[in-house]
């Protein structure tokens, strides 16, 4: 590949790096006579048409970015089967190598580097470009110790296509955001999470999450909270630790934007600059040493001193004890020790005697762990952190505290805060058949909360769990609320016994226009019986109640009966018999008798009519 010219313009000189997706070469731009860096994709991505299209589109979009903390992209092209990106050449090492060589970075240096990265991300996010693979390996350090983000375009193209190719995870799982590990939507807040991990690593020289395989590490991003950076390095100021913890929040809504991160890091940078160590080469006033001043001896002729006193015969002096070995000094030291011991006792137990050392426990519920710790410590309280599952509270936020809000306690009191681990997806276990107490105990062990408990008549032992909501096998999360339905035991005593002993009264239900089956259930639910049931022809649907006795809402004693009248279809009427159209003989005779009462009726015509009829037949 060396000494090859891409596009008739870029002459490859040497290979300077290699990654999971591409190889990087230093090249010479013949047209503009300048050094450039060229990234050429590996051969296995040449056949993925969708990836190649997204790669070119996103690389061209990233080429619009122009910021001092972003490695500029000059060109994107194809030479034969090779797809490449031409970038600014930065002659330096990566941030990863700087961390490995120097260990935990100086607090001010780490803050300045994180600020540079956040500034570059702010410019990218303003142009709708999300990096998706922020890690120390993709941060180049210039000679003047400034950071430049590289690898824009590639990470975005991969994550928009898919997170895996051939079963291998693309990217760096140690720096994944929870939504990336979960395969969810990628937003600018995903870059902020990755930057939080980079800052964590710069401050501690440790990664917050490690594991035996990428899947285990990805699950830790989703479920676990990292160890506080101050545990590894107590010198980290609370303000800086709060920024790290907020940036690494599981919930994107809690994380600051990259612009807000720049402002917060600027405040920390200003504070650290004031407290930074002074110049070690500055002029200093040295204290006197214990070496006595050198004595100048003048000697005369014959080896005698010029001072007459020195020429006198010397009498051996009596050796005196040093003052620090004298009895007076020892007595003074004893007195000082006694006074110091008394002051120490007073300082240790003075708070017990002083009534002004009581404080009110502040409210930290719903706040992030780092902020809650800072609030309590500022209130002269000690903090103990415990974790709990709660699907209703975002991971990393305080669910509850002990002592509770507003309690008056003495300063330095230990306050336990319970921090949410979010909801862990599990299968709802089968609790049916367990005693109520055993079911509640099992829910607590699984990190589930007890909701409402309903009772139901059953032949099972009282207190036995009959069913629950959600049902067995349903996907739930730790911290979710579970409702139980437990047995109340055998049904209540028979209605006759209740009537005989308590004489209670009930209202008769209104069952008119209901079917007979529904009416019977409604009457029985009030502790009443169905009495006589009669039918009556009606235009209503067959089998529905027409009337009832006693009437609806009448008050009767339990155990009373209710008579019902239900509808039945009317019987079909018989078809009428049609008679001859001519009048009968009797009717004719009666009319004739009425008209002519004095004239007798002659019956001799009858045979003649019969004869006529026979003739007609």
Q: Which tens digit of pLDDT belongs to each residue from 19-31? A: 767 788 899 999 9
Poorest-confidence range of 151-155, 337-341, 410-414, 442-446? 151-155
The larger pLDDT score, comparing residue 581 to residue 167, is at: 581
The larger pLDDT score, comparing residue 167 to residue 451, is at: 451
pTM over 0.85: no
Q: Which tens digit of pLDDT belongs to each residue from 218-227? A: 889 988 889 9
The number of helix segments (H) and strand segments (E) in the chain equals 17, 26
Q: How does 66-96 read in b/e, with b if 16+ C-beta sit within 10 Å?
A: ebebbbbbbbbbebeebbbbbbbbbebebbb
Using DSSP, state whether 79 is helix, strand or coil.
strand
The larger pLDDT score, comparing residue 135 to residue 351, is at: 135
Measured on CA atoms in the order 52, 53, 58, 60, is the torsion positive or negative?
positive
Read off the pLDDT band of 170 (50, 70, 90): very low
Percent of the chain scoring above 70 in pLDDT: 74
Percent of the chain scoring above 90 in pLDDT: 24
Closest CA to 476 of 432, 443, 438: 443
Closest CA to 502 of 510, 492, 512, 487: 492
The larger pLDDT score, comparing residue 465 to residue 493, is at: 465
Closest CA to 39 of 15, 58, 57: 15
Q: Which tens digit of pLDDT belongs to each residue from 555-612? A: 888 888 999 999 887 766 666 666 555 545 555 455 555 544 454 544 444 444 444 4
Give every strand in the sheet of 93-94, ordered side by side: 93-94, 139-141, 147-149
Q: For position 172, what pLDDT does the model report?
A: 76
- Whether residue 305 is predicted with pLDDT greater than 70 in this model: the reply is no
Catalytically annotated residues? 133
Strands 449-457 and 414-420, sheet pairing: unpaired
Read off the pLDDT band of 163 (50, 70, 90): very low
The larger pLDDT score, comparing residue 516 to residue 303, is at: 516
The larger pLDDT score, comparing residue 168 to residue 198, is at: 198
CB 71 within 8 A of CB 60: no
Residue 553 is classified by DSSP as: T
Q: For position 168, what pLDDT does the model report?
A: 37
Residue ranges and CATH numbers for the domains of the chain are 5-88 (3.30.200.20), 93-273 (1.10.510.10), 359-420 (3.30.10.20), 425-489 (3.30.10.20), 504-568 (3.30.10.20)
- Whether residue 476 is predicted with pLDDT greater than 60 in this model: the reply is yes
Q: Give the alpha-carbon dihedral of 201, 204, 205, 208, to 10 degrees.
A: -50
The larger pLDDT score, comparing residue 313 to residue 410, is at: 410
């Amino acid at each position: 590949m060396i000494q090859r010219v891409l596009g008739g313009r870029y002459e490859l000189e040497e290979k300077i790096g290699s990654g999971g997706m591409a190889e990087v070469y230093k090249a010479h731009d013949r047209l503009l006579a300048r050094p450039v860096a060229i990234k050429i994709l590996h051969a296995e991505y040449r056949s993925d048409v969708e990836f190649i299209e997204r790669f070119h589109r996103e690389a061209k979009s990233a080429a619009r970015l122009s910021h001092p903390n972003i490695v500029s992209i000059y060109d994107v092209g194809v030479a034969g089967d090779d797809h490449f990106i031409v970038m600014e050449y930065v002659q330096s090492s990566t941030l990863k190598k700087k961390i490995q060589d120097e260990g935990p970075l100086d607090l001010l240096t780490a803050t300045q580097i994180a600020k540079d990265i956040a500034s570059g991300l702010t410019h990218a996010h303003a142009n709708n470009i999300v990096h998706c693979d922020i890690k120390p390996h993709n941060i180049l350090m210039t000679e003047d110790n400034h950071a430049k983000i590289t690898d824009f375009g590639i990470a975005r193209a991969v994550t928009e296509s898919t997170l895996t190719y051939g079963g291998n995870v693309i990217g760096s799982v140690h720096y994944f955001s929870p939504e990336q590990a979960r395969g969810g939507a990628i937003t600018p807040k995903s870059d902020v999470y990755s930057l939080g991990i980079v800052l964590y690593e710069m401050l501690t020289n440790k990664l917050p999450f490690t594991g035996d395989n990428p899947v285990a590490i990805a699950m830790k991003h989703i479920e676990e909270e990292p160890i506080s950076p101050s545990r590894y390095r107590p010198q980290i100021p609370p303000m800086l630790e709060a920024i790290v913890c907020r940036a690494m929040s599981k919930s994107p809504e809690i994380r600051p934007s990259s612009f807000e991160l720049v402002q917060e890091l600027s405040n920390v940078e200003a504070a650290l600059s004031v407290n930074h160590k002074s110049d070690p080469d500055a002029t200093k006033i040295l204290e006197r040493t214990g070496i006595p001043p050198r004595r100048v001896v003048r000697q005369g002729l014959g080896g005698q001193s010029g001072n007459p006193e020195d020429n006198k015969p010397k009498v051996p002096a009596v050796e005196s004890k040093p003052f620090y070995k004298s009895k007076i000094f020892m007595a003074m030291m004893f007195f000082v020790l006694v006074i110091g011991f008394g002051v120490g006792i007073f300082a240790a137990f003075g708070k017990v005697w002083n009534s002004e050392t009581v404080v009110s426990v502040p409210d930290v519920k719903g706040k992030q762990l780092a902020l809650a710790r800072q609030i309590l410590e500022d209130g002269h309280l000690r903090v103990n952190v415990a974790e709990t599952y709660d699907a209703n509270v975002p991971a990393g936020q305080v669910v509850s505290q002990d002592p509770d809000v507003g309690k008056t306690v003495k300063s330095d009191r230990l306050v336990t805060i319970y921090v949410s681990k979010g909801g862990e997806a599990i299968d709802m276990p089968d609790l049916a058949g367990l005693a109520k107490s055993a079911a509640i105990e099992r829910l607590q062990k699984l990190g589930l909360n007890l909701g409402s408990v309903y009772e139901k008549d059953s032949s099972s032992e009282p207190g036995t769990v009959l069913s629950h909501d959600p049902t067995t096998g349903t996907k739930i999360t730790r911290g979710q609320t579970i409702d139980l339905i437990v047995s109340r035991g055998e049904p209540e005593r028979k209605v006759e016994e209740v009537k005989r002993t308590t004489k209670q009264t009930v209202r008769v239900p209104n069952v008119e226009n209901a079917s007979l089956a529904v009416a019977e259930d409604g009457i029985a639910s009030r502790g009443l019986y169905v009495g006589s049931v009669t039918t009556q022809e009606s235009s209503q649907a067959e089998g529905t109640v027409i009337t009832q006795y006693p009437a609806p809402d009448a008050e009767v004693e339990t155990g009373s009966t209710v008579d019902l009248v239900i509808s039945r279809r009317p019987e079909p009427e018989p078809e009428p018999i049609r008679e001859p159209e001519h009048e009968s003989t009797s009717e004719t005779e009666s009319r004739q008798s009425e008209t002519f009462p004095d004239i007798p009726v002659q019956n001799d015509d009858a045979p003649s009519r019969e004869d006529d009829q026979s003739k007609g037949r």
